[in-house]
Structure formats: structure tokens, C-alpha cells
A and B are shown apart, each in its own frame.
Chain A
Amino acid sequence: MPEFPANLFRRYIPTEHRRLVDRLPLLEDERYSTYLQIDEHSVYCESDGSAVDSFDLLHQVDLVFELSKSDSLLCWLNQNTECSSLKQNIRRYSQKLRSERYGDLRASIRFKLHGELHEGLRQLELKKTFDNLAKRWREETGMMSNPDAVCMHEAYQQIIGMGMDALPFIFVELRDCGGDWYWALNSIVRHDPVPDEAVGDVQEMKRYWLSYAEQNGFLHR
């Protein structure tokens, strides 16, 4: 693969696209040529479902989309055969973006990249934070019998401090693993869907809370 002439490239690329140049080496990564798969809601890596790779991929799609609009760049690429690999990649991804399968996405790709990508990355960070806190909380309070001690644990309080951002993760935890999430849920949503007759009955409390989650869009799957 020819070495990418970054300095030369920068001279030709419009100022507004220069920030993209810094990410160009990733475009040469052949992994991305087979991983691209886009459905209505997500872009992800086919091989292992890795979210991180999918967001790397989104960066590449973003890059190609931006670069493909640059006439000066395309003209330059056509004149410089040493960049054939880069050109092929750009062409391949551009074709993907223009194909019938991804046609509907073309109009929204920028939104996806600048909205969903950033939101996706934020969600990844939130999930990582939540998972670490939840793991520590479970390990350090799982044996406790006094619910006050369980709910006053530092990690649990930090989860409450995450506010509404924590809700989707809490509901998944509640659904899949159970646990003393009711105080956190009550504190964050400031509403208790559990009627008095169901209090203490874990199966019933879970049912009421998960129903609330589905009705309010906090639990999609």
C-alpha cells in the first residue's frame, strides 16, 4: 500500500475538511471493507458486533462522505496514481452510500454521524460508567440485609446522580439480574408505579417497573 502523502494532500483539501485528514490512515484499514452494515437504527461491525469498531467505522463513513463532496480532492486523487488505494476506498464507500440499500440513509448520514455517532459514543461512556458502578455496588452490598445501607452505597448514589441517563441501563439490569434498583428508579423518575399491594413482591414490582419502562421508551428490547 503506498504511503499516504499527508502533507501534499493537505494543500489540496479545503480548510473545512482538514480536520478529517488526521483520521485518514484509518481509512486504509481493510477491516472496514467487509464490516459495514447499516440498518434502520445502527451501524455495527458484522464480524463480532463490537460497538467500538462500529463507531470507528462511522468515522470512516463520515470521512468518505465529506471527502466525496470535495471536487478538488477527487480531481487530485484522479491525478495521483500513488493514492490508488485511498481512491478505491473512497469510491467503494461512496458507492455503498449511494446504493439502493443505503439510499435512505444518504440524506440522514450526516445526522447519524454528527448526532447518533456522538450520542452513541456518549452512551458507550455512560454504559461503561454505569457498568463499573453497578459491578462495584453489587460486589460490595450483595450480602447486606439493611436496605438503607444498600441504597446509600457510594456507587449506588453515583448511579442516581447520573439521572435519566442511567434509566435504560438500570431497567436492563433489573430485567436481567434483578436487585435493589427500586430506590434509584423512584429517585430518578420521581414516580412509583408499584401499587401498595405489590410492594415487597419482587416479581410484581419488576413487572410494574418494566411496564413503565416500555411505555416510556426506556426499554426497547
Chain B
Amino acid sequence: MNPEDSEPRRTMEPAREASIGPFLSVSNYRVTSEETDAYNCAAWAMQIENKRWWPNARRKGYYWPNSEARGTVADFMEFFSQLGFSECDNYSLETGYEKLALYSKGDGVVDHMARQLHSGRWTSKCGNWEDIEHDLESIQGLIYGKAIICLKRARVDA
């Protein structure tokens, strides 16, 4: 479901909410889908809902076009550059651009991706759990690390 559609506010179970990180609270996010393992955060960032994407995880059940990629931040940046994205220096909403955020715990690998919505807020697929609409910082923590790279390209759906 498009997270920007108007719908009753829904939140995760408190235990789930707490497990994502200390900054997630009912005031800064809402659930926008049912729980599913049909797609993951990287697929969701590309608005794909029927496939799971992740580098170097073929035997774990994830597709990635480049079998040489290892899952590093550089691998993600290279792949998304092929889709027209380039690194930018801020996470603010810019008219005419779509943005992606790469999250990492700082060890050189990507731990999560989020996509910016037209509203300027962000949408994430949380593992095999639900999609949520959230603030950029509200999912930071021990699971996803923090947003370290912002990618942008001209909106194709503008």
C-alpha cells in the first residue's frame, strides 16, 4: 500500500517497536503494510514488492544482478549509480528528486535501506516485518546503524 495514502494510524507491537531501536516511538512512525517476506528493504527502496534483493546472498534467497558484489556500501552505491542515482549531501526533500538512504553500523556493509516519500518522510521494509513510514533518524540504533549515505536521482514519477 502506498504509505502516503490516508489510513488509520497503526503501529507495531511494542516489543517489535523497541527491538528496532530506541528512537522509534508512536509519535514518529506508522505501519503501512502487513508483515511479509516477499520483498525486503532494498527491493522496497526500488518499489519492488515481489522479490528480495541483496548482494552476495544468492544461497540465502536474495537476488542481485552482480554476483561479484559483496554487500559493501561501495557495492550498493555502484549498483544504484547504474539506476541513475548519485550521492548527495543532504537528506532533505528536493522537488523533482527521489532519494534513498543507506544505513550502516559503520563496518563498511549496508544494514538497511529506506526510500524518501513525496512528503519528505521515509519508508522502510523492516526485515520480514511490516513496512513503516518514519523519520530518517527514528530507526537508527543497533540493528540498522545510522543513515550514512544519501543517493538521489530525478523522479521518474514526478
CA distance A146 to B109 in the complex (A): 9
From residue 110 to 131 of chain B, which have CB atoms closer than 8 A to chain A?
110-113, 125-129
B127 and A141 contacting across the interface, CB-CB below 8 Å: yes
Interface stretch of the complex, out of B26-34, B56-64, B85-93, B146-154:
B56-64
Does A149 touch B at the CB level, under 8 Å?
yes
The minimal Cβ–Cβ distance linking B9 to chain A, given in whole angstroms, is 20
From residue 42 to 83 of chain B, which have CB atoms closer than 8 A to chain A?
42-43, 50-54, 56-63, 71
Q: Which residues of B contact A146 (CB under 8 A)?
A: 54, 71, 109-112
B60 and A182 contacting across the interface, CB-CB below 8 Å: yes
Q: Which residues of A contact B113 (CB under 8 A)?
A: 145
- Whether A200 touches B144, Cβ cut-off 8 Å, given contacts A145-B112, A145-B125, is no
CA distance A205 to B110 in the complex (A): 24
B59 and A182 contacting across the interface, CB-CB below 8 Å: yes
Does A116 touch B at the CB level, under 8 Å?
no
- Whether A145 touches B144, Cβ cut-off 8 Å, given contacts A140-B19, A150-B127, A202-B38, is yes
B51 to A, closest residue via Cβ: A200
A186 to B, closest residue via Cβ: B59
CA distance A145 to B37 in the complex (A): 11
A contact residues, range: 20 to 34
B60 and A147 contacting across the interface, CB-CB below 8 Å: yes
The minimal Cβ–Cβ distance linking A156 to chain B, given in whole angstroms, is 11
B112 to A, closest residue via Cβ: A145
- Whether A151 touches B52, Cβ cut-off 8 Å, given contacts A143-B127, A145-B125, A146-B110, is no
The minimal Cβ–Cβ distance linking A145 to chain B, given in whole angstroms, is 4
CA distance A104 to B41 in the complex (A): 56
Does A102 touch B at the CB level, under 8 Å?
no
B112 and A147 contacting across the interface, CB-CB below 8 Å: no
Q: Which residues of B contact A144 (CB under 8 A)?
A: 111, 127, 143
A194 to B, closest residue via Cβ: B61
CA distance A143 to B125 in the complex (A): 9
| Contacts A147-B62, A178-B37, A201-B63 supplied; 18 other A-B pairs, CB < 8 Å | A139-B19, A142-B19, A142-B129, A143-B129, A144-B143, A145-B40, A145-B112, A148-B60, A150-B60, A150-B127, A180-B37, A180-B128, A182-B60, A186-B59, A199-B61, A199-B63, A200-B62, A201-B50
A-B contact pairs, 6 of them (CB 8 A): A147-B54, A182-B61, A183-B59, A200-B51, A200-B53, A200-B63
Question: Top 8 nearest A-B pairs by Cβ distance?
Answer: A200-B63, A182-B61, A200-B51, A145-B112, A145-B41, A183-B60, A147-B60, A147-B57
